[in-house]
Amino acid sequence: MLQYNLQLVAEIMRARFLQQAAGNNFVEHLLIDSRRVIHPPAALFFAIATVRRDGHDFIKEAYNKGVRSFTVEKEIDVQQFPEASFLLVDDTLKALQQLAAYHRRQFSIPVIGITGSNGKTIVKEWLYQLLNEQYSIARSPKSYNSQVGVPLSVWQLQPQHTLAIFEAGISQKNEMNALQEIIQPTIGILTNIGEAHAEGFADAAEKLREKQQLFSSAETVICSTEKLEPLSFLHANIYNWGFSANNALVVKAINRQLSETTIVFSTNTITDNITIPFVDDASIENAVTCLAVCMYLQVSFERIKEKFQQLRPVSLRLELKSGIHNTTIINDSYSADLSSLTIALNMLQQQGQHLQRTVIISDFQLTPEQETATYRSIAELLLQHKVQRLLTVGPRTKALLVPLLNSSINSISFDTTPALAQQIENISFQNETILLKGARVFELDSIAQLLEQKTHQTVLEINLSAITRNIRAHQQLLKPSTKIMAMVKAFSYGSGSYEIANLLQFMKADYLAVAFTDEGVALRKAGISLPIMVMNPEPVTFDALIDYNLEPELFSFSILHAFESFLEKEGINSYPVHIKIDTGMHRLGFMPSELEELVAVLNRQQTFSIQSVFSHLAASEDPAEDAFTLQQAMLFEDACSYLENALGYPFLKHLDNSNGTIRHRQLQFDMVRLGIGMYGISSAAAKLQLEEALTLKTTIAQIKQLQPGDTVGYNRRGVITKPSVIATVRIGYADGYPRNLSNGVGYMLVHGQKAPVIGTVCMDMTMLDITDLVDVKEGDEVIVFGPQLSVTTVAKQSGTIAYEVMTGINQRVKRIYYEE
C-alpha cells in the first residue's frame, strides 16, 4: 500500500501545521466519517462541513477512536488533542481533492472516466465483470461519483492495478472540472444523457457542456453516434458506436428473444455477436457501450464473449437476515472482489448488535499475477475491520491468505463448500454477525441457508415451480394461438410483485394486467418489459402511465375523454389502449347501448390504437349461472364484431378468467386472463392437477399446560374444561389471519395434525389447542394454509373466498420464493 509522509501531504495540500505531534506521521487511509474509522493510526481525517453536518464537530470522536492526523479549515483548540497532528487549509474539500489528484498522477495506467445521466454504475460494474480476468482493476465503490466520493475512489488506486474505472456525477455548474483533475481519465465514456438532475443548470445543453469537461484531456471518448455532435469540439479521438457503417463499432442487428438479446456487430477486425440476459433498451445500450470499450482496449473477444451472457444485474443492496443462535447473516456470496468486500465489511462493522464478527470467505478467482497483492489487501481489510474469526473455503485462501493473518484472527480452512457444510454443526455460531463472501462458483449460498433462521417468523412461501406447472396446465386447455394475460393485481394476489412478474415474463406470458398505475410502474422499475394493461387508470397518473409505457383500460366516456385530451396535449398518437365492455358484470365498462357513440368518438381521432376489447364474466365458476355466462358471451361477440366493422382494424378479444378458461373453453377467443388459477385455486383443481402454490407458515412461541377453570385470551372466550395443552403461535389478525376463525372455527396444522384455534384471535398471536397432538415443542412449524390445508378451506371457515384471504396477508409477512 502506498504511504504518504504527513509532511508531503501538507505540501501537496498547501497546508499549515497547527500542531505537529511526534510519531504517527504517515497516511494510508482517508476518512471523512468518524463512524467509519478503520486503521486509525494511518488515517487522515478531513473535517468537511456540509449543509447538515460539520466534520469539525466529530474530531473528538475520531480522536477517541485513535485517529491522530486531521485536516481542518477552522482554528480549533488543539490542546484538547495532544497526540494529534493538525493541518490547517482554506477548504478541506479542496484539500482532499488536491491530495487525490496528486495520488492519481503517480499512476500511468489506462483510467476510464464515466459520466452521463443514466447507467454509469452499471457500465462500471459490467466492465468490471467483463475485464477482471485481464486486468487488476480499481474502481469506484458503489456509486461514489460526487465531489467527495471521487477523491475517495481514486485514493484506492494501488501499484498492483492495471486499469481503473471511475464514475463522475455532477449536480451543479463547475463541478466537473474538479472531478476531471482528480480522475484525469485517459479514456472517457459518455453514457445515456437523460433529463435526470437537470436542475442546477440553465438547460440540458449547458449540462452536457459541463459533462464534457471530464474528457478535456482524455485520449479517446467512447460514445454512441447520437452523442457525437455535441462532442465535436473535443480534441480527443472518438470511438463511436451505432447503426451506420461509419462507426468504429457497427451494431448490425439487435434480436430480442424472451429473456435475452443477441446483438450482432462488426468492427474493422471482426464480425461477431454477443448475447446478454436482458431485453430492455437501457441494458442493451449499456452492454454495447461495454463492448465498445472492450474493442477499443483490444481485449481478446474470445475471452469475453461468454462473459456477456453471464452479466448480472447490478444490485448494490446487501440483505441482512437473522440467523441461528441470535446471529445476523450478511449473505454476499455472489461476488468476490476487493471493492465489494470493502462494502460488505463496512456493513459488517456497522452492525453493532454483536461484538463478535465472523467472515466466511472463498477463494477469489484471480490470475496468478493478481493473487499475492489481492490476498495481502484482503488480509489487511480483515484486520482493519476487526474480524475475529475467519472460515476459508478453497486451496488458495488457505495457502495465501491465512498465513498473512496474525493471532487476532482465528482461522479454520476447508477445501470445499460441502466440507464446510458438513462441519457446520460442530462450529459454534452464537451472538455474532457473519459475513459470507465468495466467488459464485463456490456456492456459499448453501452455507447461508444453513445459517439462516428459517422457522422464526411467519412467512408466506411461494412455490414458483408450482405456478409454472399451473400455468402450463391451463395452457394445455387452449388453442396454441390463444394468448395469456396474467393478472398480477394486488401484489399478484398477495404473493409478491416483480418476483411473480419475472417468472411470468420468463414463461412467455403475452400480457400482464394490474389494477393501478403505480403497480405497473413498480413492475417497470423492476425491469419487466412485457406489455402491461392498467385496469383502473386514474387521470392523475396519466403522466406515469405514458412514461412507463403502460396501456390503460378505457371503460367509460369520461376516462376516454380525459385520456384523449391528455394525449393530444402531449402530441401523442396511436397510443395502445384496451376497451372494456360491460356484458352483465355491471362493474366497469361501456354498455352495449353506448357502442354507437363510442365508435363515433373513436373514429374521429387517431389518438388511440385499440389493442384489445374485453369483458369480464360474472359467474364463470358457477354451473347454475352458465346460461347467464353464455348470454354475456353473446353480447360480447356482438360488441366485438360491431366495433371491428366500424373501426376497420382487428384487435385482440378476451373474456375468460381462470375458471372461465377451465369451464368455458369455447369462450377463449384470442386471449384468456389468468389470475387465481396460477396459484392452483380452482373448482377443477383436482382434475387439472393444479397445485396450491402458497403456504402460510408460522411457529410456536410458547406452550402451556392449563387446568379446568382456566381461560384463554381476550374476554376469557377460551374456556378450559379438561387438562389441556395450549400453543401460542406467531400470527394474528394483523397478519391477515381472519379474526372470525376464533373459538374453534378455524384450525392450523402442526406436524400434519389439526390444532383448533382456542379463544379469540389476537392482533399478532393466536392460541391453538394441542392437547391431543403428539410430539409438539416450542419453535415448531405451524401451517396456516398450504397444499395440506387449502386456503379455500380456511376461507370457507371464515365465510369468505380464497381471493380475500390471499390478498389480505399483510406485507409485514415475509415472502420467500423458491423453485423445486
Provide the annotated active-site residues: 489, 714
Name 525's Cβ contacts closer than 8 Å, sequence gap at least 6.
548
Total residues at the site for ligand PLP (CB under 6 A)?
Answer: 10
CA distance 369 to 261: 34
Rounded to a whole number of angstroms, the minimum distance from the CB of residue 794 to ligand PLP is 17
Element (H, E) at 70: strand 69-72
Measured from the CB atom, is 545 or 681 closer to ligand PLP? Answer: 681
Q: Who contacts 566 (Cβ-Cβ below 8 Å, separation ≥6)?
A: 539, 542
CB 267, CB 245: distance < 8 Å:
no
CB of 503 to ligand PLP, least distance (A): 17
Residue number with CB closer to ligand PLP (180 or 620) = 620
Q: Give Cα separations from 290 to 237, 242, 316 (angstroms).
A: 18, 13, 19
677 is an interface residue for ligand PLP by CB under 6 A: yes
Q: In angstroms, rounded to a whole number, what is the distance separating the alpha carbons of residues 11 and 18?
A: 14
- Of 37, 676, 693, 712, which one interacts with ligand PLP (CB under 6 A)? 676
**Complex with ligand PLP: residue 512 or 750, whichever CB lies closer:** 512
Q: Is residue 687 within 8 Å of 646, Cβ to Cβ? A: no
Query: Which residues line the annotated binding site for substrate?
Result: 587, 763
Closest-approach residue to ligand PLP (CB): 675
Length of the chain: 820
Using rule CB under 6 A, residue 662 touches ligand PLP: no
Residue whose CB is less far from ligand PLP, 32 or 674: 674
Q: Which of 675, 732, 736, 738 binds ligand PLP (CB under 6 A)?
A: 675
With CB under 6 A as the contact rule, which of the stretches 438-446, 476-484, 669-677, 689-697 interacts with ligand PLP? 669-677
Minimum separation from the CB atom of position 616 to ligand PLP (A): 4
DSSP letter at 771 equals T
Binding site residue list: 587, 763
Residues with Cβ within 8 Å of residue 128, at least 6 apart in sequence: 137, 139, 165, 337
Q: Quote the least distance from Cβ 493 to ligand PLP, whole Å.
A: 7
**Nearest approach, Cβ of 580 to ligand PLP (angstroms)?**
8
Residue with cell 511526534: 22
- As a whole number of angstroms, the distance between CA 767 and CA 702 comes to 9
Give the H/E segment covering residue 390: strand 389-393
Question: Can you tell me which of 92, 220, 370, 657 binds ligand PLP, judged by CB under 6 A?
Answer: 657
- In sign, the C-alpha dihedral spanning 568, 574, 577, 580 is positive
Q: Which is nearer to ligand PLP, 138 or 806 (CB)?
A: 806
124 binds ligand PLP (CB under 6 A): no
Instruction: Please tell me whether residue 487 binds ligand PLP under the rule CB under 6 A.
Output: yes
Applying CB under 6 A, among 68, 139, 207, 616 the residue interacting with ligand PLP is 616
Positive/negative CA dihedral, 641, 642, 643, 646: positive
The nearer residue to ligand PLP, 169 or 675, going by C-beta atoms, is: 675
Closest approach of ligand PLP to the CB of residue 679, in Å: 9
- Sole binder of ligand PLP in the list 357, 437, 673, 697 (CB under 6 A): 673
675 vs 786 by CB, closer to ligand PLP: 675
β-bridge mates for residue 613, sequence order: 579, 653
3-state helix, strand, coil in the chain (%, to 5): 35, 25, 40
Residue 657 has phi, psi (to 5 degrees) of -95, -165
CB 514 within 8 A of CB 489: yes
Question: Can you name the residues that pair with 697 across neighbouring β-strands?
Answer: 459, 783
Least Cβ distance, residue 807 to ligand PLP (angstroms) = 10
Q: If binding is defined by CB under 6 A, does position 674 make contact with ligand PLP?
A: yes
CA atoms within 13 A on the CB side of 402: 20
Phi/psi for 252 (5° steps) reads -90, -30
End-to-end CA distance of the chain: 47
Nearer to ligand PLP by C-beta: 517 or 657?
A: 657
Stretch that binds ligand PLP, among 63-71, 338-346, 458-466, 674-682 (CB under 6 A): 674-682
Q: Does 509 bind ligand PLP (CB under 6 A)?
A: no
The CB-of-549 to ligand PLP minimum distance in angstroms stands at 21
- Return the range that interacts with ligand PLP (CB under 6 A); candidates 503-511, 537-545, 672-680, 724-732: 672-680
Q: Which stretch binds ligand PLP (CB under 6 A): 23-31, 92-100, 653-661, 735-743?
A: 653-661
| Contact status: 658 vs ligand PLP (CB under 6 A) | yes
Residues that bind ligand PLP in the complex, under the rule CB under 6 A: 487, 616, 657-659, 673-677
